[in-house]
Structures are given as C-alpha cells and as structure tokens.
C-alpha cells in the first residue's frame, strides 16, 4: 500500500525527470493525486483530467503515452 508521504515524494520527483514537458508533469500530478491507496487503482477519465487541467483529451493521451 502506498503511503501519503510516497505520494508527496512522487509529485516532487516529477520536477527532476528529464524529457517531460509541462503538460506531462501536470498530467502525472493529477494521476498521482487520483491514486487510491486503499484499492491501488487510479481511475480518472481522460475527460476529467483534461477538464481539471484545461487541456484537450488528445493532449492528455499524448502525455500519458510519454509517461508510460
């Protein structure tokens, strides 16, 4: 089970990863924030992520592919 401190550290590490654009980092942060530590699932939809960040769903898809 992931602990709250690990979530915070994961968000901080995003700033150190080379090769990610700003939207990649923002999408990653939203994914980390939506991670359910009890179920180990992360289920925000593309539309939800796009709406939260004010970007297109296609941009979210491209960012997720780069993050993978």
DSSP letters along 20-67, please?
--HHHHHHHHHHHHTEETTTTEE---HHHHHHHHT--HHHHHHHHHHH
The structure tokens 């993050």 sit at 67
- Residue that wins the pLDDT comparison between 18 and 5: 18
At 5, is the pLDDT very low, low, confident or very high (cuts 50, 70, 90)?
confident
- What integer is the mean pLDDT of 8-23? 91
pLDDT digits (tens, 9 = 90+) for 21-55: 999 999 999 999 998 888 889 999 999 999 999 99
CB 53 within 8 A of CB 23: yes
């Amino acid at each position: 089970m992931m602990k709250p401190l690990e979530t915070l550290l994961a968000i901080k590490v995003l700033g150190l990863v080379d090769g990610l654009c700003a939207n990649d980092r923002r999408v990653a942060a939203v994914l980390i924030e939506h991670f359910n530590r009890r179920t180990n699932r992360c289920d925000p939809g593309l539309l939800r992520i796009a709406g939260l960040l004010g970007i297109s769903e296609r941009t979210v898809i491209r960012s997720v592919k780069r993050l993978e």
